Every structure is written in structure tokens, then in C-alpha cells.
Amino acid sequence: MSEVWLIIKEQVANIRTIFRLSRYEEKATYQSHYLGLLWQILNPAIQIGIYYLVFGVGVNGKNLVDGVPFFGWMLIGMTAWFFINSSMLGGSNSIYRQVNVVSKMKFPLSILPTTNMVSNLSTFWPMTAITIIVLAIFGKYPTIYWTQLIYYFFCMIVLLFAFGVLNSTITVLVRDYHIMLQSVLRLLFYVSGTIWNIENRNLPVWLVKILKLNPFYYIIDGFRDGYLSKGWFWEKGTYGLIFWGMTLIILLVGCHLHLKFRSKFVDLV
């Protein structure tokens, strides 16, 4: 646990640097584009439109899911998934992509995955606002259940931080890992409940229980529990304990590997 606390302290001590770097990263990514930062909204909006045409209109038709039209149900999952996917991939490549530059600066490399995650919040928050507006149009207004959205947001941040430290380290050690991660995330997109309600797919009960162990499913379904007022997070006590157990293991392994190989990153790249 001492290694975990050391990495966490580095994030806290460099919080201003993290936000400065994240703002720079946002501007650098879109500075050569005519629409600039507007692409942070347009890109996910276009993808959501495509998935809705295929899975909403083409597959689900006008069927309601958890009491709302499929588009609203899907939008909740897609908003969380876009943030998860971009943070996983960006965090994985964050150290490898910038190690030669930042190794000459006075801040720890462990903040780079966090910087990428903070940068992705500039897309997550507008998408969240759009989700709330769409749900209001469908007659879903804030209730006391919405307070647990804070809990699930915290779950998402901690899990992505743990994966960021782990993935960014492994990517430096094994370059093929980043490419493999892209394929794994494509699979996870379909089995994490983002566009499929796995409980209504006529799947075997044992398979549904296994799919629910997926930590990303726990987060996405948790956001839906909050927005759609389906239940409280403590009602999923067993899955919650499994989620935090998996997150802790990922964090412990990630912090250990990061500190063990950090001094060799420049040579390995």
C-alpha cells in the first residue's frame, strides 16, 4: 500500500500541473482543425447517431428500455463509455508518447495518465448535460437517486486511474499491449451493457452473472440506476465489493510496476 500512497501523493502534489497540461493537450489536439474543440462534442454525437440507427431503429425499434426510449437509455451508457474508452486508450499511451519530453521536466511520470483523464472530462461534462436534457424530454427528472451519480463517478475515476497507471507502464514495457488493448475495448463495448441490455437478451443466468462482474458494467449500469431511479448502489453490495476488490488489485499491481520500472522508461523507449 505504501507504493499506492506514493503515487496518490504525486497526483495531489502536482494537481495544478495536471490541469495545466490537460488544457494544453486539449488545445494541441484540435488547434489545426477549423471547428477546434467543437469536435469534442461532434465526434461522439456522430457515433451515437450511427449506433442509434443500427441498434435503436434497426434492432430495438420503438421498444422502451427501463421505462425510457432506447435513445435515452443508450445515451447514458455511451456518455460513460466514451469517457472510459478515451481515458483507457489515451492513458495507456500517455507515458510512451511523451516520455522523452517530460523526462527532462520536474514532475513525476505518473501524472500523465491522470492528465489525459482530466482532459477527457471536457467531453464528458457536455455529454452529461445533453443526457440530462434528453432524459428531461423523455419525462425523467432529477430524484434523490441522482445523488448516487457522485458515487459512480468516483468509481469510474478511481478505476480509470488504476488502469491508467498499469496500462501506461505495460505499454512502455510491451509496445504491442496498446494495440491489444484497442481490441479488448472493442469487445468490452458490447459486453459492458453500453448498447445491449444483457438482462433482456435471453442469455443463460450464469452468463449474465459473469458479465455483471465486469467493472465497466458496474459503472455503466450504476449510472442508469441513478438517472432512471432504479435503485441504490448498496443494493448491489456483492457486486460493489467485487468491483472495489478488482480495482484495488489493479491499483496495487500498477503502482508496483510503475515504480519498479519508472527509472528505465527513457531507455526502454
- Strand-pairing partners, residue 65, are 68
CA angle 262, 248, 265 (to 5 degrees): 10
Sign of CA dihedral 161, 165, 171, 177: negative
User: How far does CA 244 lie from the centroid of its chain?
Assistant: 16
pLDDT at site 29: 62
Q: Which residue has the higher pLDDT, 260 or 156?
A: 156
> In the prediction, which pLDDT does 230 show?
83
Residue 147 confidence (pLDDT): 94
Tell me what the mean pLDDT of segment 27-37 comes to: 57
The dihedral through the CA atoms of 220, 46, 128, 116 has a sign that is: positive
Give the pLDDT confidence of 225-263 residue by residue, as tens digits.
Answer: 999 888 888 888 889 999 999 999 999 999 999 888 887
Q: Of 219, 243, 206, which is closest to residue 77 (Cα–Cα)?
A: 219
pLDDT of residue 201: 65
**Cell representation of residue 5:** 500512497
Of 178, 160, 182, 179, nearest to 169 by C-alpha is 178
By residue count, the chain amounts to 269
Reduced to 3 states (helix: H, G, I; strand: E, B; else coil), residue 35 is coil
DSSP state of 201: S
Residue with C-alpha cell 520536474? Answer: 106
Do the Cβ atoms of 218 and 107 come closer than 8 Å?
A: no
Inter-CA distances, 62 with 54, 55, 178, 203, 228, Å: 13, 11, 38, 22, 18
Q: Which tens digits make up the pLDDT trace of 168-195?
A: 999 988 888 988 999 999 999 888 888 8
